[in-house]
Amino acid sequence: MNAHPDPGVASGPVSGASPVAGLSGTDGAGTLAAETPGPYGALPAGLTGELPRDVRELFSRIHVVSIPMVMRFRGVDTRTAMLLRGPAGWAEFSPFEEYPPPEAARWFAAALERAYVPGPAGTVRDQVPVNATVPSCDPEEVPRVLARFPGCTTAKVKVAQAGVPLEADIARVAAVRRELGQDGVIRVDANGGWSLAEAKRALRRLAEFGLQYAEQPCAAVEDLAALRAELAEAGIGVPIAADESIRRAEDPMRVARLQAADYIVVKVQPLGGIAQARHIVAQTGLPAVVSSALDTSIGIAAGVELAALLPPGPDGEPLACGLGTVGLLRGDVADPSLRPSGGMLPVTRPDADDALLERYRADPGTAEAWLARAQACWELIRRTPGGEARGHDHAS
C-alpha cells in the first residue's frame, strides 16, 4: 500500500510502506478468524505474508487527533486517538494514557482487526439501541446531558467517583429518574470504586430507583460474587454487571465461574477486537451489553457491529448499548458523526473526514508519543505465537 503523509504524526510522513497483507481468513460471519492468540491479542488472518518491523508500514495513513470533551469524564477533558487506515478501512487505537503497552496492545490488536478484516456479511440487526451516559455531574446538569442522547430511554449514570459523596450520587440518579420517568431504564456504573461494605450500603439506597443493574460496584471479582449473594439474601433486587473484571482481567471467565455477575459489559478495543469479544460472550454465557471506551465514530462503529452480532437480552429484546458517547465529545473525525437518532445507531463503517482530521490534529509532541505507543504495542503483538516467525527480523 502507498502511505500518505500524516498531518497528525510530526516526525515525518508515513512513507515507504509496501504491501504486507491481503484480506483473507474471516469466519462465517465475516469477522476475524484469529491466529494463535498470545497474551497481547491475536493477529488477524487477513495479515498475510511477512510482518514489517515498523508499525507505519501496516497502514496507508496514520493520524493522531485530540478532541475536547463536553465535560470532564473519566478524569479527562480531552480525548486523544490514533486513526489508522488499512485495506478494510479506518480503525481506531485509543487506549487511555495510563495504560502501559501490555494492556494497550489489546487495543492495538482490535485496530489491526478493524483495519484488515472486512465487515460481516450479515448481522442479527441493522441498528442497535443505545443508552445515554451521565457523568459524575450535578443534578442540575442532568437534563442538558440527557438532551445529547435523543430518543434514549435507558441511561447509565456514573457513581462512586473519588471525593464525591454518596448523597451526590443519589441526587444525580434521582434527577435521571425524574427526566426519564418511571418507564425509563437506569443503570449505575461505579468503575470498581466501592469497597464491598460501601457497595452494599450504596445499593440499598439506590435500589429505590429500580436499577436494571449496577456495573462493576467493586473492583475484585470475589467481592462482586459476595455482593451479588448478599443482595439476593437481603431481598435487594439490584443485578450486578461486570466490566473491568472482564476487559482488564487475565481470566475474564472467573466472573462466570464465581457467579459474580448477571450481565457482562464488553468493549471492542480493550478486549482485542470483535472476534475476541464474541468469544468471551459465548464462553461466559451471560447477557452482554456492548459499551464504548470514549471512542470517536470510527471506534463506535466497531462496537455497533459487535452489538448487532450478539443475541438479545433476557427479555428477548436487544440490550441498550453504551455506544452513544460521541455526544460527550465536542467534535469528531467522521461527518456525519455516529450519534443516536431515536435512541438507535446504524450498523455502518464511516470514513474519517480529512477536514476534521486536520481540525483536531494533535500537537507534534502528542503525535510522536502516540506513534511510539503504537510501535511498542506492535512489537509485543508481532512476537506472539504466529507473529514472530513471519517478521522481517528476529533481533531483540
Write out pLDDT tens, residues 100-131. Answer: 999 999 999 999 999 999 977 666 799 999 99
Domain 1-119+351-396 has CATH 3.30.390.10: yes
* Among 155, 156, 227, residue whose Cα is nearest residue 194: 227
Summarised one tens digit per residue, pLDDT across range 247-289 is 888 889 999 999 999 999 999 999 999 999 999 999 999 999 9
Instruction: Give the relative orientation of helices 101-116 and 274-284 as an angle to the nearest 10 degrees.
Output: 110
The catalytic site residues sit at 158, 267
Say if residue 222 carries a ligand binding annotation.
no
For domain 127-346, the CATH superfamily is: Enolase-like C-terminal domain (3.20.20.120)
Summarised one tens digit per residue, pLDDT across range 287-317 is 999 999 999 999 999 999 999 999 999 999 9
In 10 A of CB 147, how many CB atoms?
11
Query: Where along the chain do the CATH 3.30.390.10 domains lie?
Result: 1-119+351-396
Q: How far is CA 230 from the centre of its chain?
A: 30
Say if residue 189 carries a ligand binding annotation.
yes
d(CA 325, CA 84): 20
Say if residue 243 carries a ligand binding annotation.
yes
Query: Where along the chain do the CATH 3.20.20.120 domains lie?
Result: 127-346
Considering the chain, what is the average pLDDT of its residues? 88
Lowest mean pLDDT among 70-74, 95-99, 219-223: 70-74
In 10 A of CB 154, how many CB atoms?
22
Give pLDDT, residue 2. 38
Q: Which residues pair with 351 in a beta bridge?
A: none
Cβ atoms of residues 323 and 292 within 8 Å: yes
